Amino acid sequence: MKDSGAETGGTPFDDDDDIVMEVDGTETVESIADDIRSDIRLGHIQDDVSHVLEERLRKASISLRPEQIDDLAEEIERDVSI
Q: Is residue 22 part of a domain?
A: no
Residue 20 lies in a domain: no
Q: Is residue 36 part of a domain?
A: yes
Report which of residues 73 and 9 the model is more confident about: 73
Q: Which residues pair with 26 in a beta bridge?
A: 23
| 30-79 pLDDT per residue, tens | 999 999 999 999 999 988 999 999 999 999 999 999 999 999 999 999 99
- Domain count of the fold of the chain: 1
> In sequence order, which ranges of 1-82 are alpha helices (DSSP H)?
29-41, 49-59, 66-81
Beta bridge partners of 20: 13
Domain containing residue 63: 29-81
With respect to residue 3, please indicate whether it lies within any of the assigned structural domains: no
Average pLDDT, stretch 7-22?
Answer: 45
Contact, 59 vs 25, CB < 8 A? Answer: no
